[in-house]
Amino acid sequence: MSTSAPAADGPLTDEGLVQLLTPAGERVAHPTYDAWAEDLDGDRLRAMYRDMVLTRRFDLEATSLQRQGELGLWAQSLGQEAAAVGSGHALRPQDHVFPSYREHGVAHVRGLEMTDLLRLFRGVDHGGWDPAEHGFHLFTLVIGSHTLHATGYAMGVQRDGLVGTGDPTRDTAVVTYFGDGATAQGDVSEALVFASVNQAPVVLFCQNNQFAISEPTTRQARVPIADRAPGFGIPSVRVDGNDVVASCAVTRQALERARSGGGPTFIEAFTYRMGAHTTSDDPTRYRTSEQEEHWRRRDPIERLRVHLERTGELPEVFQAQLAAESDAFGEHIRTTVRAMGHPSPHTMFDHVYATPNAVVDAERAWFTQYEQSFVDHDGRQAAGGHR
């Protein structure tokens, strides 16, 4: 049995993908999804372009910071900006996102202070931001676990009576992002079951970037991943994930279905992880440079740039401003990360429980006393202390 199926087969087929913008940057008509993209004028598309450019800048800066030893690890989103930014633009303020750790574009669109995302990778925080502030949950590093949290959260939204009221400022949807690898996890199947039988207002957004570290999607599935959802009673759609317009349109439709009480939708965004899984990975061991080159020619940012240029919607002054903004953003990221303080060891005892806990309190007290034992009578850290 071959371990590398031809790219056009099974779960890696590009048949049936919703596409509104061709790789050459040409806007093409679609009978269903034009209606969900008709208001995406020059201003909106430029806003998406800006978000993709800044997301990529953030990603490249983070990669550099990891190489410089400033971050312990980094998970790149290189090449996946369109699916993230496009779907992010479909969200309303009251919607809630349960992301995977590669949805930097969604975080950016939700208005997070992006350097907060780097706290986890620098090793100073397990979280780093307030999920309530931007409707953007913390990362869940156990793959697929958060799809159940999203589904439960959506069940809560139902109980809050915030589905199908007809008020666009109140009706609420939940979206959860996960990769092709995650779809093999039992929790994702259970999330599909719970979402379906409860008709929960949740959109399950699968970023099929074709790799779970080294394993191609053919190791997770025999058929297109989106084909699974109808078996659970959930409608699904495959979208060209490198097409920001189509990604926005299909997500808008799915979110609206959820908000209006129509239940869950499964979206498979077919894209390509142009970078490594993380900075610890080496993709040259499992894929070819020809394949990478093929996808580099389908770069999602370049696609929109060509489209905007062709339609006369990318004035030079905008490009110059964006370049300057991007440089300033890069500087901000570098400066902020390098200034992140070293956490006090005592903080490891904080927030284990919401209520006082005798065991944790006793261990904290012991640790404090132990630390004090290294301090001499003049208050200095004694020689031979543990650090």
Out of 127, 231, 315, 385, the residue judged to bind other proteins by CB under 8 A: 127
- Residue placing its CB nearer to other proteins in the complex, 74 or 194: 194
Among residues 6 and 366, whose Cβ is nearest to other proteins? 366
Could you say which of 356, 369, 377, 379 contacts other proteins (CB under 8 A)? Answer: 356
Question: Residue 231 interacts with other proteins (CB under 8 A)?
Answer: no
Residue 310 annotated in active site: no
Taking alpha carbons only, the member of 62, 40, 163 closest to residue 117 is 62
What per-residue string of b and e applies to 142-159 under the rule 16 or more CB within 10 Å gives b? ebbbbbbbbbbbbbebbe
Shortest Å, Cβ 311 to other proteins: 42
Q: Determine the Cα–Cα distance for residues 270 and 58; give it in Å rounded to an integer.
A: 22
The H-assigned helical ranges of the chain are 42-67, 81-88, 104-109, 117-122, 131-134, 145-159, 186-198, 244-259, 289-296, 300-310, 316-338, 358-372
Of residues 150 and 244, the one with the C-beta less far from other proteins? 150
Structure tokens at 297: 């020619």
Say what the alpha-carbon torsion angle 35, 39, 41, 47 is, to the nearest 10 degrees.
-110
Task: Say whether 33 is catalytic.
Answer: no
Closest approach of Cβ 154 to other proteins, in Å?
7
- Interface with other proteins (CB under 8 A), residue from 150, 254, 255, 274: 150
Please give the torsion angle defined by the CA atoms of residues 38, 39, 42 and 43, in that order, rounded to the nearest 10 degrees: -160
Question: Which of 104, 113, 100, 195 has its CA nearest to residue 144?
Answer: 100
Which of 44, 286, 334, 364 is the catalytic position?
286
341 touching other proteins, by CB under 8 A: no
352 binds other proteins (CB under 8 A): yes
| 307 scored as a contact of other proteins (CB under 8 A) | no
Binding string to other proteins for residues 189 to 208, with x set by CB under 8 A, is what?
A: -xx-xx--x-----------
C-beta of residue 107 within 8 angstroms of C-beta of residue 186: no
Measured from the CB atom, the residue of 178 and 295 that comes closer to other proteins is: 178
Exposure on the CB side of residue 335, measured as CA atoms within 13 A: 6
- Measured from the CB of residue 172, what is the shortest distance to other proteins in angstroms? 10
Nearest Cα to Cα of residue 103 among 227, 218, 247:
247
Q: Which of 108, 137, 228, 277 is catalytic?
A: 277
- Residue whose CB is less far from other proteins, 19 or 151: 151
**Residues noted as catalytic:** 273, 277, 286
Q: Which residues bind other proteins (CB under 8 A)?
A: 125-127, 130-132, 137-138, 140, 142, 145, 147-157, 159-160, 186-187, 190-191, 193-194, 197, 350-360
